Amino acid sequence: MSKNTIAVHLPDGAIREVPAGTTPLDIANSISPRLAAASVVARITPVSNAAGKSSAHDGQPHPDTASDGSAEATMYAAEDATAPRLVDLSAPLTADTRLELVTEKDPDALKVLRHSAAHVLASAVLELFPETRLGHGPATDSGFFYDFYREKPFTPEDLSAIESKMAEVVARNEPFVREFEPREQALAEFEKDGDFMKTHFVTRFTAPGDQVSFYRNGKFVDFCRGPHVPSTGRVKGFKAMSISGAYWLGNEKNPQLQRIYGTAFFSKKDLEDYLARLEDAKRRDHRRLGKELELFTVSDEVGAGLPLWLPKGATIRRLLEEYILDLERKSGYEHVYTPDLAKVDLYIRSGHWAHYHESMFPPMKLENEEMVLRPMNCPHHILIYESKLRSYRDLPVRLAELGTMYRYELSGALSGLSRVRCMTLNDAHIFCTPDQIKDEFSSVMKLVERAYRDLGITQYSYRLSLRDRANKEKYVDNDAMWELGERVLREALDSLGLKYREARGEAAFYGPKLDIQLADVMGHEETYSTVQLDFHLPNQFALEYTAADGNRHRPVMIHRAIISTMERMVSYLIELYAGAFPLWLAPVQVGLVPISERHAAYAEKIEAELRAAGLRVEVDARNEKMNAKIRDFALQKTPYILVFGDKEESASQVNVRTRGKTEQTSMPLADFITKARDLVATQSTEL
Ligand code: TSB
Ligand code: ZN
């Protein structure tokens, strides 16, 4: 069946007729040697009328592309024969194909490099510890890992020896060479060597009579389908990061494996940048700062995902709440209070029960009714809308609440304050006429931008979150409604000129939404603000208003949250400011350091004056050295530290130390107060 020449379609539209067996590297070289040197792998897509069928080994499942979860089912997902796939630069092309050379900039290239780095790691481990048995070594989102079985645990010293050995493997620049062996022969060899994991993989993922694919670099050979970078020398920036335990096949009855994590990049510079970001992320981590700065805690006796706000964290939260309530009052919102639970029937009517059940806590049985903690505040606000007749003149009705809600998030997904099970949302539901949607939408967007400016948030992006059509369980089934919602949202976005990207399967069950995404230092994104268009709940509750013509009409609902949940926003602000909050948000704004006990009375006087001026102040009256007190306030990232002794007291002055600045200034207390109050009033991020 095989032809002597094949047609290779290049991205620029050119078609090359080349002998069968030509490799992507040959093609790259024929274009330019520089392109050849820059290429990592090739992406090929069979041309539909191509005669060549993929050969037996090409159909072999891929044992090495797991994400961190590494469930076997997803590891070895079957492939679509017509989909683009990556192949080695040295892979002979056997049929007509589209071909794209993948260079280092392509995100797929990094994945390939990282899988190759896993082979480099395994090569190093076997050179140092030949008794080790190999599991598998996939690329992950942040690097790669390899699972090993060895009775003795690897020590931190072993890890650094492994990293040095990896450097040798890289320096040897060994080519990755693909080899094939009959399955039965491969199995016999693995069994003889006691390689129980490889035996398992080969048995499970190849069929009798198959040729089994291996990759060799130097003396190291691994059962693997690839692809790989051309040679180990491409792994220029790498690091063996950590060791952790993992059970073979995720089952605790199986032997315990040692999983070595690493990361890899095409350059040392990329690696250094990544490690620096990682350090920065550690320094900013809100879970760590939450402890150090005494902002919040989580108690096992209360439960996971149910944080306790300590006084300092509560201060920040209260300031944020006051800030947003004030902004909403000025923007025409009316605030309400509603209970944290309701009868199950309410959520059956709203559709939460049918579509959002999995995220709800189980119901509680009372005498003859069932109550449930609310996962959202909408139904309660709807009942407030319904509590009286509404006319078109009343609309829009904007009902807002710092609404506490409960969601059954998976325990593995919980994280500090950023993903919790009990949360208080800066929520509002706007009930309006269809004509008012656009204006309301744009007012909400302006509020978001205003709030971000005031909070010092500058990096964010817009995401249009749409339903997944096929998922009838998660989304209300009403095509016309979804299409209308999507169209209206797009129109509103376009008229504001906002750039956005789309995400399928991220909508609320009742309608599409515009989400505002913030990323942390590592680039990990979460949704904060959200604006959601809803034609569904007004229907479920048969909401009405009387129009000018006297007829009854149905209002539209907009669900919106400007600053997200208090939990998530505070977690973000902690990381954004690395705990060094702007003056208006700092839990303690001024630290007072009396030089000796003699100055206690002066300290009290200053404290009282600052309090009276509305400033948050803490005195360190301990019998400690002045410098120790200053250091402790500095560790708490206190914006201002006022130091005073005889000299200051007799002149009615204070010595002011400003966070982040080296110079100190002495000034009358009244001047300091004026300055501080001004910075608070303008929500300045500078001191
Ligand atoms: C805006 N009914 C709407 C509301 O009217 C609603 O609840 N929307 S939501 O489900 O998207 O949640 C609103 C916001 O809460 C999200 O955008 C997110 O920023 C925040 N949030 C959601 N789940 C959690 C959680 N587990 N922990 C902390 N914050 C969360
Ligand atoms: Zn809502």
Query: Domain check: are 385 and 269 in the same one?
Result: no
The CATH number of whichever domain residue 306 belongs to comes to 3.30.930.10
The CATH number of whichever domain residue 225 belongs to comes to 3.30.980.10
Kindly report the protein residue whose alpha carbon is nearest to atom 27 of ligand 1: 419
Q: What are phi and psi of 198, to 5 degrees?
A: -65, -40
Kindly report the protein residue whose alpha carbon is nearest to atom 1 of ligand 1: 560
Last residue of a domain, one of 223, 253, 279: 279
Cα 150 from chain centroid (whole Å):
34
Query: Domain check: are 272 and 156 in the same one?
Result: yes
pLDDT in tens, 43-55: 999 987 544 444 4
Supply the pLDDT for residue 2: 53
Which of the residue ranges 73-82, 134-143, 495-504 would you say has the lowest mean pLDDT? 73-82
The answer to whether position 286 is within a domain reads no
Is the pLDDT reported for residue 67 higher than 90? Answer: no
The CATH number of whichever domain residue 96 belongs to comes to 3.10.20.30
Q: What is the 3-state secondary structure (H, E, C) of 318-386?
A: HHHHHHHHHHHHHCCCEECCCCCEEEHHHHHHHCHHHHCHHHCCCCEECCCCEEEECCCCHHHHHHHHH
Query: Domain check: are 592 and 661 in the same one?
Result: yes
> What are the strands, taking DSSP E only, across 94-218?
97-103, 133-134, 144-149, 177-182, 211-217
Kindly report the protein residue whose alpha carbon is nearest to atom 5 of ligand 1: 559
Is the pLDDT reported for residue 127 higher than 70? Answer: yes
Query: What gap in Å lies between CA 544 and CA 612, rounded to an integer?
Result: 50
Kindly report the protein residue whose alpha carbon is nearest to atom 3 of ligand 1: 559
**Residue type at 646?**
D
Ligand 1 center from residue 528 Cα (angstroms) = 8
The answer to whether position 262 is within a domain reads yes
- Determine the atom of ligand 1 nearest the C-alpha atom of 419: 27
The answer to whether position 65 is within a domain reads no
Query: What gap in Å lies between CA 645 and CA 566, rounded to an integer?
Result: 41
Confidence grade of residue 66 (pLDDT, cut at 50, 70, 90) = very low
Residue 561 near ligand 1, beta carbon < 6 Å: yes
Last residue of a domain, one of 279, 312, 347: 279
Ligand 2 center from residue 403 Cα (angstroms) = 10
Query: Domain check: are 133 and 9 in the same one?
Result: no
Residue 568 near ligand 1, beta carbon < 6 Å: yes
H-run or E-run covering 287: helix 286-292
- Determine the atom of ligand 1 nearest the C-alpha atom of 528: 19
Confidence grade of residue 11 (pLDDT, cut at 50, 70, 90) = very high
Residue 382 near ligand 1, beta carbon < 6 Å: no
The answer to the question of whether 62 is labelled as a binding residue is: no
Rg of the chain over all Cα atoms, to the nearest angstrom: 31
Query: Domain check: are 631 and 593 in the same one?
Result: yes
- The mean pLDDT value for 238-263 works out to 93
- The mean pLDDT value for 419-433 works out to 98
Query: Domain check: are 266 and 301 in the same one?
Result: no
Last residue of a domain, one of 241, 257, 279: 279
Residue 527 near ligand 1, beta carbon < 6 Å: yes
Edge-to-edge strand list for the sheet holding 461-466: 334-335, 397-406, 422-432, 556-565, 525-534, 513-519, 461-466, 500-504
Helix (H, G, I), strand (E, B) or coil at 92: coil
Contact 505, 471 (CB under 8 A): yes
Is the pLDDT reported for residue 70 higher than 50? Answer: no
- The mean pLDDT value for 165-189 works out to 95
- Determine the atom of ligand 1 nearest the C-alpha atom of 531: 1
Query: Domain check: are 238 and 204 in the same one?
Result: yes
Ligand 1 center from residue 228 Cα (angstroms) = 42
The answer to the question of whether 378 is labelled as a binding residue is: yes
Ligand 1 center from residue 515 Cα (angstroms) = 10
Supply the pLDDT for residue 49: 56
Query: Domain check: are 378 and 471 in the same one?
Result: yes
Kindly report the protein residue whose alpha carbon is nearest to atom 4 of ligand 1: 559
Is the pLDDT reported for residue 193 higher than 70? Answer: yes
The answer to the question of whether 429 is labelled as a binding residue is: yes
The CATH number of whichever domain residue 588 belongs to comes to 3.40.50.800
**Helical packing angle, 183-192 and 196-205, nearest 10°:** 160
Is the pLDDT reported for residue 651 higher than 70? Answer: yes
Ligand nearest to the CA of 376: 1
Query: Domain check: are 606 and 555 in the same one?
Result: no
Domain ranges, residue 217: 109-279
Query: Domain check: are 503 and 593 in the same one?
Result: no
Residue 565 near ligand 1, beta carbon < 6 Å: yes
The answer to whether position 58 is within a domain reads no
Supply the pLDDT for residue 335: 98
Query: Domain check: are 495 and 628 in the same one?
Result: no
- Determine the atom of ligand 1 nearest the C-alpha atom of 529: 17
Alpha-helix residue ranges (DSSP H) falling in 129-155: none
Q: Name the residue among 129, 136, 120, 119 with its Cα closest to residue 151.
A: 129
Strand partners, 342: 372
The answer to whether position 452 is within a domain reads yes
pLDDT in tens, 493-552: 998 899 999 999 999 999 999 999 999 888 899 999 999 999 999 999 999 999 999 999
Confidence grade of residue 473 (pLDDT, cut at 50, 70, 90) = confident
How much is the pTM? Answer: 0.85
Q: How many domains does the chain have?
A: 4
Ligand 1 center from residue 517 Cα (angstroms) = 12
Mean pLDDT of the chain: 92
The answer to whether position 560 is within a domain reads yes
Residue 180 backbone class (left: φ over 0; alpha: ψ -120 to 50; beta: rest): beta
Query: What gap in Å lies between CA 229 and CA 177, rounded to an integer?
Result: 10
Supply the pLDDT for residue 72: 39
Query: Domain check: are 475 and 493 in the same one?
Result: yes
Residue 420 near ligand 1, beta carbon < 6 Å: yes
Residue 423 near ligand 1, beta carbon < 6 Å: yes
pLDDT in tens, 329-366: 999 999 999 999 999 999 999 999 999 999 999 999 99
Is the pLDDT reported for residue 59 higher than 50? Answer: no
Ligand 1 center from residue 106 Cα (angstroms) = 34
The contacts of residue 257 (CB under 8 Å, 6+ apart) are 135, 147, 148, 149, 245, 246, 247, 248
The answer to whether position 397 is within a domain reads yes
Ligand 1 center from residue 529 Cα (angstroms) = 8
The answer to whether position 178 is within a domain reads yes
Kindly report the protein residue whose alpha carbon is nearest to atom 24 of ligand 1: 419
Is the pLDDT reported for residue 176 higher than 70? Answer: yes
Ligand nearest to the CA of 428: 1
